């Protein structure tokens, strides 16, 4: 048997996991200690893991998260108003399957953006397609897309995301164009895909940020319908002792 020929064919077929496992087995002689069935199973397992890891890396790269965040690093101190059981339920990602929304509010520094990023990373590990956006920058880019004639292409791309994260919502009031853009995004995703929003402002104030009553009612009705709310409290984690610095917050 020509092992090099087999390795070359594995590369040509893009079986990179199998290639690495087979090459390692040849170099170490490990395959001599396994039955044929065991060896084949090991090659398949390496290929499966390699494809899953590469897909995860692609999903994370395309999401453009603000922080590299993990659920394991979330802080559950008593003053944060963060229910661990509730978060573990969200981590099951059934809210994405049900096209439900998550609204995360709290003052600056309490961990909204980090929490959203951690849930987003976890969703990627479960093969969901995620997009992470600063709200103001997204609306500005979509205004430019409308002028350039690429608006529908950009909104269609956003619509296909399993989970869209809008960070820092409400830093400035919406003008007419921004209001229409937000309405388009939320309407396209309503009961089809999940949207997660972080904001320094309580949900009740979001109506004022949107401005015009008809659009505010329509947008907020779609956002809060079957929505999960997390209201983080407490002092800014940036001001706390070094034990809190693992979780970098916004």
Domains located in the chain, CATH noted: 3-62 (no CATH), 65-244 (3.40.50.300)
Interval 109-144: pLDDT, tens: 899 999 999 999 999 999 999 999 999 999 999 999
Strands (DSSP E) found in the chain = 102-105, 130-134, 163-169, 194-199, 228-231
Mean pLDDT of 17-21: 81
Confidence of residue 238 (pLDDT cuts 50, 70, 90): low
Q: Is the pLDDT of residue 179 over 80?
A: yes
Residue 211: what are its φ and ψ, rounded to 5°?
100, -90
Give pLDDT, residue 163: 98
Interval 28-81: pLDDT, tens: 876 667 778 888 888 888 888 888 889 999 999 999 998 999 999 998 877 899
Confidence of residue 229 (pLDDT cuts 50, 70, 90): very high
Give pLDDT, residue 189: 94
Q: Is the pLDDT of residue 245 over 80?
A: no
Q: Is the pLDDT of residue 94 over 70?
A: yes
**CB < 8 Å & 24+ apart, contacts of 152-159:** 155/184, 155/185, 155/188, 158/131, 158/185, 158/188, 158/189, 159/188, 159/189, 159/192, 159/193
């Amino acid at each position: 048997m020509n092992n090099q020929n087999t390795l070359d064919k594995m590369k040509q077929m893009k079986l990179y996991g199998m290639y690495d496992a087979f090459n390692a087995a040849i170099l170490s002689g490990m395959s001599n200690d396994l039955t044929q069935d065991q060896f084949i199973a090991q090659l398949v397992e390496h290929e499966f893991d390699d494809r899953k890891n590469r897909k995860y890396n692609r999903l994370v790269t395309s999401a453009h998260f603000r922080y590299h965040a993990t659920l394991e690093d979330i802080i559950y101190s008593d003053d944060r108003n963060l229910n661990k059981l509730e978060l573990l339920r969200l981590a099951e990602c059934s809210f994405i399957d049900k096209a439900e929304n998550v609204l995360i509010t709290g003052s600056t520094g309490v961990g909204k953006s980090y929490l959203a990023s951690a849930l987003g990373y976890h969703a990627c590990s479960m093969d969901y397609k995620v997009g992470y956006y600063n709200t103001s920058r997204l609306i500005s880019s979509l205004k430019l897309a409308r002028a350039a004639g690429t608006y529908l292409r950009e909104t269609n791309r956003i619509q296909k995301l399993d989970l869209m994260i809008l960070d820092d919502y409400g830093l400035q009031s919406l003008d007419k164009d921004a209001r229409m853009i937000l309405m388009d995004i939320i309407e396209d995703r309503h009961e089809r895909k999940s949207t997660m929003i972080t904001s320094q402002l309580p949900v009740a104030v979001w109506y004022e940020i949107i401005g015009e009553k008809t659009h505010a009612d329509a947008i907020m009705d779609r956002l809060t319908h079957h929505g999960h709310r997390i209201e983080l409290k407490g002092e800014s984690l940036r001001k706390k002792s070094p034990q809190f610095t693992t979780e970098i917050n916004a």
